[in-house]
Amino acid sequence: MDLSNILTISGRSGLYKVVSQTKNGLVVESLTDGKKMPVFLSDRSSALEDISMFTITEDVPLKEVLLKIFEKEDGKPCIDPKENAGKLKAYFETIIPDYDQERVYISDIKKVFAWYNLLLEKGMITPEEPAVEETQEEEAMEEKPKAKKKPAPKKKNKE
């Protein structure tokens, strides 16, 4: 799951996918209605990959939170973000039991659930595949002895 090209823009609802880059900013496409629009450098935007949730011990990247919801719901939509605050907090606590209740507001929890449902609807949430094959291939490449280059034959100078 790649969240590096999915943005949230301050003052605008929903999520946006980066379509292209301009010299003054980006062109994004809304995931909700598909409309394209410019986002300038002065607009406050954040990639979902850079967002994390506060916990008592250490921050948890949003990607991990979304994957935990995906596992809990078996790939189905989660709780409606419009539920009452008590239900939302209780549900969120089942996902991240040690979240910092003083720094994570109910509005943040609502956004996480709304974003999860939107990304799931668009097919952008996929469980992580273990990278076993890649590491095995890399190890095999490292184990192969490298062929030594033979020095070039020296040219004899005729004098």
Give residue 33's identity as a one-letter amino acid code.
D
Is 112:53 a contact under the CB 8 Å cutoff?
A: yes
Q: Does domain 1-50 match CATH 3.40.50.10420?
A: no
- pLDDT tens for 14-60 read 999 999 999 889 999 999 999 999 999 889 999 999 999 999 999 99
Q: Where are the domains of the chain?
A: 1-50, 52-127
Euclidean distance between CA atoms 156 and 154, whole angstroms: 6
Is 95:68 a contact under the CB 8 Å cutoff?
A: yes
Give the predicted TM-score (pTM) of the model. 0.76
Number of residues that make up the chain: 159
Euclidean distance between CA atoms 14 and 7, whole angstroms: 9
Euclidean distance between CA atoms 90 and 158, whole angstroms: 90
Give the per-residue pLDDT at 155.
62
Euclidean distance between CA atoms 119 and 113, whole angstroms: 10
- pLDDT tens for 84-134 read 999 999 999 999 999 999 999 999 999 999 999 999 999 998 876 555 445
Q: Which CATH number fits domain 52-127: 3.30.950.10, 1.10.10.1650, 1.10.287.130, 3.40.50.300?
A: 1.10.10.1650
Using only C-alpha atoms, the chain has a radius of gyration, in whole angstroms, of 24
Q: Sign of torsion, CA 103 104 106 107?
A: positive
